[in-house]
């Protein structure tokens, strides 16, 4: 698998060889670029930063990849639905244009990894290390990012950390104690000063209660 080429020719040749055993014994054969249900748990497939093994445009759904060391792996355009990556090392890798719905990345390392234009909806990144990870234009609806190490995320105290999740598609259930910057469809904050006007007079200011209520209704819609 470490020697797989960018066209997956080596991978598919191996799958064809396995099928020669599987089919006569009544097992479902592998399709091209399809290793669904495979167990890669605990394997050492690590490479160099951004130059690791290639599994791009491959279906790896329903697979067990926990404690996998795959530093630098290229998973561009792959499908990882309902897969487990607990404690896996996916740092400095290419995870762009993925479909990775309902998957687990808890306690995994995604340091320096690019995850642009991917769908991580309803996945879990509990205690994941995302220092320097880049998530541009991703779908993270229903995704949980609890207790992550470094994050894109600006917490309620205004501290912004290095992980970037710009133009993310999220919802109000994404995470409990953080909110993503520039999230699509996020409610507008209620700003009381929009209803305050400065006017000459004894007190110098006046508040338009109708305007304030109107602003609040707008922010709730």
List 84's β-bridge partners, or say none.
64, 104
Distances (CA, A) of 176 to 12, 19, 179: 43, 46, 8
d(CA 20, CA 14): 10
What would the mean pLDDT of 117-137 be, rounded to a whole number? 87
Closest alpha carbon to 135 in 169, 100, 166: 166
Q: What is the structure's pLDDT at 134?
A: 84
Where do we find the tokens 């960018």?
A: 6
161 or 100, greater pLDDT: 100
What would the mean pLDDT of 40-61 be, rounded to a whole number? 96
141-150 confidence digits (pLDDT tens): 888 877 776 5
166 or 67, greater pLDDT: 67
Q: What is the structure's pLDDT at 147?
A: 77
85's CB contacts (< 8 A; 6+ apart) are: 65, 66, 68, 103, 104, 105, 108
Q: Which residues of 45-74 are buried (b: 16+ CB within 10 A; e: fewer)?
A: bbbeeeebbbbbbbbbbebbbbbbbbbbbb
21-47 confidence digits (pLDDT tens): 999 999 989 999 999 999 999 999 999
d(CA 35, CA 171): 32
Q: Compute and round to an integer the Cα radius of gyration of the chain.
A: 23
Contact (Cβ atoms closer than 8 angstroms) between residue 82 and residue 58 = no
61-83 confidence digits (pLDDT tens): 999 999 999 999 999 999 999 99
């Amino acid at each position: 698998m470490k020697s797989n080429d960018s066209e997956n020719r080596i991978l598919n040749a191996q799958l064809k060889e396995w099928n020669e055993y599987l089919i006569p014994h009544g097992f479902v054969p592998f399709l091209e670029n399809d290793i669904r249900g495979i167990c890669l748990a605990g394997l050492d497939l690590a490479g160099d930063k951004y130059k690791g093994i290639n599994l791009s445009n491959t279906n790896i759904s329903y697979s067990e990849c926990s404690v996998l060391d795959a530093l630098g792996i290229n998973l561009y355009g792959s499908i990882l639905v309902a897969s487990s990556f607990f404690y896996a090392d996916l740092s400095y890798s290419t995870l762009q244009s993925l479909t990775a719905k309902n998957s687990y990345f808890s306690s995994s390392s995604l340091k320096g990894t690019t995850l642009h234009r991917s769908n991580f909806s309803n996945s879990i990144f509990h205690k994941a290390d995302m220092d320097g990870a880049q998530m541009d234009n991703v779908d993270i609806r229903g995704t949980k990012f609890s207790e992550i190490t470094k994050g894109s995320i600006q917490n309620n105290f205004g501290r912004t950390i290095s992980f970037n999740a710009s133009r993310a598609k999220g919802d109000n259930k994404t995470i409990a104690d953080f909110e993503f910057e520039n999230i699509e469809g996020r409610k507008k904050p209620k700003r009381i000063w929009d209803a305050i006007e400065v006017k000459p007079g004894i007190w110098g200011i006046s508040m338009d209660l109708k305007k304030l209520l109107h602003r609040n209704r707008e922010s709730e819609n």
